[in-house]
Copies of this chain bind each other. A is one copy, B any other.
Amino acid sequence: MTSQNNPGRVTEKAAETRSRILNVALDLFRRKGFEQATLREIAAEAGVSLGNAYYYFDSKEALVMAFYSRASDEMAPLIENALAEAKGFEKRVTAILSVKFEYFGPNRAFLGALLRHGADPQNPLSPFGEETRHIRERDMEYFAKALELSRIDVPKDLARCLPKLLWLYQMGLILFWIYDHSDGQQRTAQLRDKSLGLMATALKLAGFPLLRPLRKKLIELVRIAEGEQADA
């Protein structure tokens, strides 16, 4: 078992080396893209041998996983703050999403390369996979909190699965954002605002008797999808 699985036990020097490699890697990913950046270059720029880089990171993609992890940790307090300050459902969700988009902004060009394994269940980097479960659940917690703080009043059955749906919504928006080459990705911001408005409207209407069959079907849908994830 290599040291990246044992971060509590490592020596100061090891942690320093590991961190240096990761920093150089991310910098090169940003500057040249994921494919173009080579591990030889990363190792050289970090002042270690190629073999040593592999001692710390099992693969090139492990560097990406480490980036995910670090990002999740660093964004946590930012999101907590943003959540505390924002008022209302739409504002709160916007706050969460804004932290993410700002954090990932400089990495947008290579985020696509990161997420490209989204459709591959075997891949550790898949946002739906087992290895990313921790990050995913943390994200859902934010949305649960936003709903809770906003005292969103929807039928209980629906309320239960809203965090999951919001997380899925977030993934869709990030996907759009990666493809968005409008100035400053303003189109994504528009899409976010409009879709959140749509959602708020839908949530207000969710209690209407007319929509009951629709709601029941949606919940049944989520139940099936969840069953799938459970034994994934």
Contacts and interface: CB of A to CB of B under 8 A. Distances in A.
Interface in A190-232: 190-191, 194-195, 197-198, 201-202, 205, 208, 210-211, 213-214, 217-218, 220-221, 224-225, 227-228, 231-232
A128 interface: yes
Interface in A3-37: none
Chain A contact surface mostly? helix
Contact of A194 (B113, B198, B220): B220
Interface stretch (A91-99, A134-142, A154-162, A172-180): A172-180
B113 A116 contact: no
A228 B187 contact: yes
Interface stretch (A48-56, A75-83, A117-125): A117-125
Q: How many copies does the complex hold?
A: 2
A181 interface: yes
A115 interface: yes
A176 B122 CA distance: 14
A2 interface: no
A88 to B, nearest CB: 17
A112 interface: yes
Given A118-B116, A175-B119, A179-B228, A205 B214 contact: yes
Minimum-distance CB pairs A-B, first 10: A115-B119, A198-B217, A112-B120, A116-B120, A121-B179, A116-B117, A116-B119, A191-B224, A187-B228, A194-B221
Contact of A121 (B178, B227, B228): B178
